Amino acid sequence: MENYNIYDEIGRGTHSFVYKARRKQSIEYVAVKSTAKSRMDKILNEVPFLHKLDSPYVLKFFDWYESSNHIWLILEYCMGGDLLNLITQDKQLPEAVVKSFGRELVAGLQYLHANSILYCDLKPANILIDEFGSLKLADFGLARRIPGIKSAPTQPLALGSPHYMAPELFQQTAVHSFASEFWALM
């Protein structure tokens, strides 16, 4: 972390904090996500997805560091914050903006699905807005590869955020699908 100047906290989740930072001896701003090492399972799930993906609709991953108590992810900085805050502040977005956001979200999900990835937690708090007003999917902690014939979960899988989950995901035999991903857009 010695390569970065850490500034203000710009966000927080249940188990993490996000800070605005700048790479030393440059003007490149990044977001630094700090998560307790006790949440290593979530990080080990999230990092491979972010590292592999290259899309204008997915938050860019640059690097990670480990300290005695935390894992630090170096991510793309999105100065527009998250979609939840925008909706909370504005209450109602112009129709043209909603259409544009809808197209970007569908394109982002299609990109993930084409790469055999189910996002599994689509909600406004996990959608960031960059300096151009474009959306970026963030927080891949619940994402997973689309199961193959030989793969089966070794532990119960988290299903996402209840307010944005498709009705079928509330059943005991629930399985995420392309359709359940798009339900969250409604």
Binding residues for ATP: 33
Catalytic (active site) residue 121: yes
Answer yes or no: are the C-beta atoms of 144 and 116 closer than 8 Å: no
Which one-letter amino acid corresponds to residue 101? F
Answer yes or no: are the C-beta atoms of 20 and 77 closer than 8 Å: yes
Catalytic, out of 41, 63, 82, 121: 121
Answer yes or no: are the C-beta atoms of 57 and 108 closer than 8 Å: yes
Backbone angles phi, psi at 44, to 5 degrees: -65, -25
Binding residues: 33
Answer yes or no: are the C-beta atoms of 33 and 75 closer than 8 Å: yes
The radius of gyration computed from the CA coordinates of the chain, to the nearest angstrom, equals: 17
Residues with a catalytic annotation lie at 121
